[in-house]
Copies of this chain bind each other. A is one copy, B any other.
Amino acid sequence: MARAARRARRQGKDRGKVPQLPWTRVDNPYPPLEPLSSDQVEAIHLASLDILENLGIEVMGEDVQALFLAAGAEVDSTTGIVRLDRGLVDRALSTAPSSFTLTPRNPARAITVGGNRINFGFVSGAPNVHDRIKGRRAGNMRDFKTLMKFAQSFDCVHFMGNQVAPPIELPPNNRHLDTYRAALTLTDKIVSGVPIGGGRIRDLIEMTAIVRGLSVDALAGDPTVLGNININSPRKLDQEMAHGAMMLARHNQATIVTPFTLMGAMTPVTMAAALAQQNAEALLGITLTQLVRPGAPVVYGAFTSNVDMRSGAPTFGTPENAKANLAGAQLARRYGLPHRTSACNASNTVDAQAAYETEMALTGAVFGHGNLIYHAVGWLEGGLVASFEKIILDVELVQHMMGLLSPIDTSREALALDAIAETPPGGHFFGSPHTMARYETAFYQPLLSDWRNSQAWEEAGGENATERATALWQQVLADYSEPAMEPDRLEALDAFIRTRRQEIGDGDP
């Protein structure tokens, strides 16, 4: 650790002893990689309109159906099938913003969602937790807090997705109050709401307003809250998800609409079909937000991957998943919408498979210009586990990507012809003044990579990357410091939580 500490000091880090890149905006300077021609994008677009106009999508909840009906959609009240014509979709798309900014309680941690801006997200939704010391266990409050500390500690984590590792020892109808409190106090970054019904979203809106010192109305003009709803693919929007989205839109907070389109299971096995279905489902959810509040921030989400056709198990980080990440971004651009994608894997352990599957998905996500890359840090086992060692591994992967996206300096000083002239043929540059002035910051300093020679590495215990990650996350936790919050806001937050817990009682939030 002494070496890591020296490194951290050298880099002038204001936090912790584990070296890392500072918080920064990440822009992708490269044109997006596009597997689909514009004709293919149009074919998928037209197929999705065919689905929306002719097949329709089942929408649960009479109030949700009523909203579509009032906007001119065709609603079958028996089956709940809603059919949208292209005019209605076009009107909704015309009001959805192409870019927006979300500001958390620390304004320095605001994120912009759109264009070529890349934001990396923390693992979300995983029901279990794993580390090499305590093994695999169900979500619980202690681990939830630990996860929030990781999310706060790593500056390459730009936002947090839906509740990770839900604390199952707490009552399901009000534990969102506890997880929100933990997230809002232990971190100062963007926190996502749990969009299962409108109540849990409304609670986060109130709580973020409190910690930002704003009214709920003011928050609508300066949004903070992010919520991801899934379409229950194929072609079904559940009432709870719809209500979550509607509450977000009503308050001008950001909704991500993500169809759950695993090829071979929830869509046909062919990617074109999956993309057409994904597109239809996403457009329905996006339309819903704009019917509630034209101009509300909304994101075209995509989660298209495939399943193992032998077992039906979901797979991630496959070539299909990476390519779908690229294609999904093309569709989002077709509509001028920000794009949410993911960097997932299906490995059971933090090994080479976990690394290459995550990296493959990340490649599709980053080079497609995904604006919100969910699950980029910490996801394991097809999403069943939030892994501490995987957090360390993924920070390394994400920081590598950030390095790859950074520019090359070709100034006179960087071209360094003098330094080349001063070093004789067959010599070396280790002691050159040009090197000495720059060597400490010249290269990316890895978190996890071990570059000792084989003998030194063996003598030090011969730990592989996964084993090394354990000491690193322990160090990060030891160095964690809670971001200060104004005492009156913390008091108001706790008062809100007490009141709401009473209000909710045994009922629904």
| Given A318-B443, A443-B320: A452 and B267 interface contact (C-beta under 8 Å) | no
A44 to B416, CA, bound (A): 11
Specify which of B44, B309, B313, B414 is in contact with A272 (CB 8 Å cutoff). B414
> Closest Cβ of chain B: how far from A278's Cβ, in Å?
11
B357 x A360 contact (CB < 8 A): no
Contact among B50, B311, B349, B425 with A236 in the assembled complex (CB-CB below 8 Å): B425
Query: Across the interface, do B400 and A462 meet the contact criterion of CB distance under 8 Å?
Result: no
Q: Are A457 and B348 in contact (CB under 8 A)?
A: yes
Q: Are A269 and B352 in contact (CB under 8 A)?
A: no
Contact in complex: B404, A51 (CB < 8 Å): no
The listed residue (B43, B327, B420, B426) touching A58 by CB distance below 8 A is B426
**In the complex, A46 Cα to B268 Cα: how many Å?**
54
How far apart sit A426 and B415, CA to CA, in the bound complex (Å)? 60
Interface string of A338-379 (1 = CB under 8 A from B): 000000001111111111110110011001000000000000
Using Cβ atoms and an 8 Å threshold, which residues of chain B touch A427?
234
Contacts of A308 in B (CB 8 A): 451
B435 adjacent to A268 (CB under 8 Å): yes
Judge whether A352 and B464 touch: CB under 8 Å.
yes
Query: Smallest CB–CB gap between A31 and chain B, Å?
Result: 7
Q: A457 — which chain B residues lie within 8 A by C-beta?
A: 348
Q: How far is the CB of A206 from chain B (nearest CB, A)?
A: 33
B367 adjacent to A264 (CB under 8 Å): no
Contacts of A36 in B (CB 8 A): 408, 410
Closest to A319 in B: B403
Known contacts A264-B435, A270-B409, A359-B356; decide if A34 and B40 are in contact (CB<8 Å). no
Specify which of A43, A268, A417, A454 lies most central, judged by the most chain B CB atoms within 10 Å of its CB: A268
Cβ contact of A450, chosen from B347, B421, B430, cutoff 8 A: B347
Shortest distance in angstroms between A160's beta carbon and chain B's nearest beta carbon? 23
Q: A96 in the interface, Cβ–Cβ < 8 Å?
A: no
Residues of chain B within 8 A of A432, CB atoms compared: 268
Which of chain B's residues have a CB closer than 8 A to the CB of A271? 408-409, 414
Q: Contact check, A276 vs B417: say whether CB atoms are below 8 A apart.
A: yes
Q: Does A448 contact B (CB under 8 A)?
A: yes
Whether the Cβ atoms of B352 and A354 lie closer than 8 Å is: yes
**Min CB gap A310→B, angstroms:** 8
User: Assuming A234-B429, A272-B409, A404-B322, is B417 touching A51 (CB within 8 A)?
Assistant: yes
**Bound-state Cα–Cα, A443 to B320, Å:** 7
Given contacts A268-B429, A356-B396, A444-B319, whether A410 and B43 have CB atoms under 8 Å apart is yes
Residue A229, interface by CB 8 Å: no
Within the complex, the shortest CB–CB distance from A270 to chain B, in Å, comes to: 4
Interface string of A310-332 (1 = CB under 8 A from B): 11110100111011000100000
Most chain B beta carbons < 10 A, residue from A270, A425, A464: A425
Number of interface residues of A (CB under 8 A): 126
Interface residues of A in 423-462 (CB under 8 A from B): 423-430, 432, 434-435, 438-440, 442-444, 446, 448-454, 457-458, 462
List, in ascending order, chain B residues with CB within 8 A of A276's CB.
415, 417, 420
- Copies of the chain in the assembly: 2
- Most interface-central of A236, A313, A421, A442 (chain B CB within 10 A): A442
How far is the CB of A472 from the nearest CB of chain B, in Å?
13
Q: A55-B420, A264-B430, A454-B136 are in contact. Are A272 and B408 (CB under 8 A)?
A: yes
Residue from B360, B364, B425, B462 within 8 A of A235 (CB atoms): B425
Residue of B nearest to A396 (CB): B356
B306–A415 contact, CB under 8 A? no
Residues A426 and B236 in contact in the complex (CB < 8 Å), given A306-B443, A352-B355, A449-B357: yes
Inter-chain CA distance A357–B357, complex, in Å, is 13
A419 at the interface (CB under 8 A from B): yes
Residue A26 CB within 8 A of the other chain: no
Q: Is A403 touching B323 in the complex (CB atoms < 8 A)? A: yes
Residue A30 is within 8 A (CB to CB) of chain B in the complex? yes
Which residue on chain B has the smallest CB distance to residue A314? Answer: B451
Q: How far is the CA of A238 from the CA of B2 in the complex (A)?
A: 42
Q: Is there contact, CB below 8 Å, between B408 and A323?
A: yes
Known A-B contacts A35-B29, A450-B353; A318 and B429 likewise in contact (beta carbons under 8 Å): no
Give the docked Cα–Cα distance between A394 and B277 (Å).
Answer: 34
Say which residue of B31, B40, B448 sits within 8 Å of A353 (CB atoms).
B448
Closest 6 CB pairs of A and B: A319-B403, A58-B425, A351-B464, A273-B416, A355-B355, A269-B442
Q: List 6 A-B contacts (CB under 8 A).
A: A35-B408, A265-B430, A319-B399, A348-B457, A351-B464, A385-B454
